[in-house]
Copies of this chain bind each other. A is one copy, B any other.
Amino acid sequence: MKFIEGGVCAAQGFQAAGIHVGVKTHAAWKKDLALIVSDVDCAAAAVFTKNVVKAAPIHVDMAHLADGKARAIIANSGNANACAPQGEENAEKMCAAAARAIGCRAEDVVVSSTGVIGQTLKVQVIEDGVPELYAALAHSNEASDAAAHAIMTTDLVKKEVAVETTVGGKTVRMGGIAKGSGMIHPNMGTMLCFLTTDCAISPEMIKTALLETVNVSFNRISVDGDTSTNDTCCVLANGLAGNAPITAKGAEYDAFLLALQTLCKTLAQKMASDGEGAKHLITCTVSGAASEQSAETIAKSVISSTLTKAAVFGADANWGRVLCAMGYSGEQFDPDRVDVSFASAAGSIQVCARGRGLSFDEDLAKKILTEHDVEILIAMGEGGGRCTCWGCDITYDYIKINGDYRT
């Protein structure tokens, strides 16, 4: 398996486009409508937010994906179409407009929205823009790039990745684009992620693979603890790679799963790293926990702790906040067995041994925590459970961005 170019256009038979139609009114140069289309029908699966308050497109997608098939994805940024008047009606109109252009059933179109909550979607500008969007479709790096930009909101960095692997002797390509910056929290924070592959795989197995992937990638990041109303991760597989279709677990499924997990872990790290206003990617690895589940709960608690995030922002090796966050995670453990170290490209330093503070070189600690990518390593001495989660620091810019998001 290797990383390649092309994003959602890396796999055979996928075209993409992204243009500005006017959902984002304040910046006419900002793309706000994306389309991804497969040349042929795809096995399709999606995972959605667990928030009780679900945006309208999610209700529509649940119905459209009930048969495990899809042809295309249409997505807008600038308005979340959540808690908004005529929500489902407008989401269906987006699918219908895309279907008319493509020449497929509206039920085979997946729809997503991201942006402000509670305002009526200007669906007319989207419907009017679809012909231009369809005309812009291409199978190219630039087309995936345009689609990736069209789903961005406060994201500063485009999230796009693709890999190539071998499944059943055939070359399989797989790529994805994602958006996600604020409202990112385990169990699907506001993120949209669209994945395409030319692997032949059944709807059942692609659903299984997606669940096995989301749980170890997107569900292990946190930016601010807020789980949004719109989160969606959707994968389309059109089978054009020509491999014997994957219909059960086995070596082929494992190769596919590894590629999918690599893709999604990479996108997840990009999201955490681009958390609103973030200056640091924080990677927390807990080892020696009672179980993997326990390690995950503790690692999530640490990366979600506002005080730990503020300490990393200040490059302050205040490890007491790490222990504190472990302690309120809900997991039981013996604090007197816990070791904590900080690490980065600048080196590594142990700051706590068996629950007690060590004297350490504050200058080195500061240097380590000043790097962009910072690791918090926790050894618990309880058992063999291990997990890595990703988060980011909290900064003045986070508050600036979110203090006046709607205007």
Contact = CB atoms under 8 A, between A and B. Distances in A.
Interface of A: 50-54, 80, 82-85, 116-120, 182-183, 185, 224-229, 304-307, 310-311, 313-314, 316, 318-321, 323-329, 331-333, 335, 351-352, 355-357, 394-396, 398-400, 402-407
Protomer copies: 2
B356 A324 contact: no
B407 A316 contact: yes
Contacts of A225: 225, 304-306
B406 A227 contact: no
Contacts of A85: 356-357
Contacts of A120: 357
B226 A118 contact: no
A399 B394 contact: yes
A305 to B, nearest CB: 6
Given A328-B52, A335-B52, A118 B83 contact: no
B319 A118 contact: yes
Nearest to A319: B118
Given A224-B306, A316-B403, 4 more contacts: A83-B320, A83-B356, A118-B320, A120-B357
Contact of A117 (B116, B316, B321, B331): B321
A307 B83 contact: no
Contacts of A405: 311, 314, 316, 318
Given A321-B226, A407-B316, A402 B327 contact: no
A394 B51 CA distance: 23
Contacts of A332: 52
B406 A395 contact: no
Contacts of A307: 182-183, 224, 226, 402
Contacts of A314: 402-405
Contact of A333 (B52, B183, B229): B52
A297 to B, nearest CB: 12
A404 B321 CA distance: 12
A50 B318 contact: no
A52 to B, nearest CB: 4
